[in-house]
Amino acid sequence: MSCRSEDMLEFLLTRRSIRQFKPDPVPDDVLFKILGVARYAPSAGNKQPWVFVVVKDREVKEKLVSVRAGFSLLLNAPLGVVVACDKELAQVSYQVDCANAAMYVMLAAHALGLGTVWLQTLRDVEGVQKVVGLPENYVPVALIAMGYPAEKPQPKPRRPLDEITYLDSYGVKYPV
């Protein structure tokens, strides 16, 4: 494997969920670069059923926190991105399409030195829709808090590969 490939794997391995942010704003050109890259996430039939609602306004953030207290770390992030997908356009795959787009947002942000954390919206679909004005067919699949990291978390533990990898049939261990 070339050095560059190793660097790219290292890039993936060094992404962390970031929950503490510096107050510095994220410039729009940086944000648009990230969202521009996120458009290249794969989606079933290339339907690209996603939209991005960028949340910067303090009042909107507070309304989101009133939907779910767990969103409160958004108050200390310069912005949030609601990734929502059209469940009518992509009836079977809207959640996974949206998850791909959300992951691309997080990875593009990481590439530019920004930190992100995915906040769970799927228990509060109607509440989030209402706050950010999404129509009923657009399901908010992720709320991503974003900003320059003010912490360097250690990697979270991962399950061992030999515990989760099978050969041809579930339960048949693939010796790693």
Q: Name the residues that contact ligand FMN, by CB under 6 A.
A: 16-17, 19, 70, 117-120, 156
Instruction: Convert 19-51 to b/e letters by CB count within 10 Å (16 or more is b).
Output: bebeeeebeeebbeebbebbeebebeeeebbbb
User: Which residues, 6 or more positions from 13, have their beta carbon under 8 angstroms from its beta carbon?
Assistant: 155
Closest distance to ligand FMN from the beta carbon of 16 (Å): 4
Closest distance to ligand FMN from the beta carbon of 149 (Å): 11
Taken as a whole, the chain contains a residue count of 176
> Of 52 and 118, which CB lies nearer to ligand FMN in the complex structure?
118
Contact, 49 vs 89, CB < 8 A? yes
> Of 14 and 167, which CB lies nearer to ligand FMN in the complex structure?
14
CA dist list (Å): 116 to 6, 30, 88, 126, 161:
23, 14, 28, 23, 26
Closest distance to ligand FMN from the beta carbon of 99 (Å): 7
> Of 27 and 34, which CB lies nearer to ligand FMN in the complex structure?
34
Closest distance to ligand FMN from the beta carbon of 160 (Å): 16
> Of 17 and 91, which CB lies nearer to ligand FMN in the complex structure?
17
